[in-house]
Amino acid sequence: MRVLVDDVPSLSIFAKLVVQRNLNSKRKIKSNDHWDLANFSGAIPYCDVFVTEKMFTHLAKTEKLDQKYGCKLFTDILELDQLDIFSNCILQ
């Protein structure tokens, strides 16, 4: 079963984030966490850039999912100026 989960990016990301959330989160599990888990599981393996909330971004970076799938994770849209494509733009 582990091989199957590892071979399917969205399942692998979902499983890793659930484990990280349950082990490391100091906050209670919230009812909207399932939406965050679904969005991260779908975005990280297929998007180049994902701007989203802090807790799950931290958990994804802890698991190095951004590096594994080549997805830049940001928690603030103003951080997009770190990307070459926006280097000549003023985002403020």
Domain-embedded: residue 91: no
The DSSP secondary structure of 45-68, one letter per residue, reads TT-SEEE--HHHHHHHHHTTHHHH
Does residue 86 register a pLDDT over 90? no
The model carries a pTM of: 0.81
Total number of domains constituting the chain: 1
Q: What is the pLDDT of residues 18-46, one digit of tens each?
A: 999 888 767 777 888 899 999 999 999 99
Q: How far apart are CA 9 and CA 46, in angstroms?
A: 9
Per the structure, the complete domain to which residue 37 belongs is given by 2-86
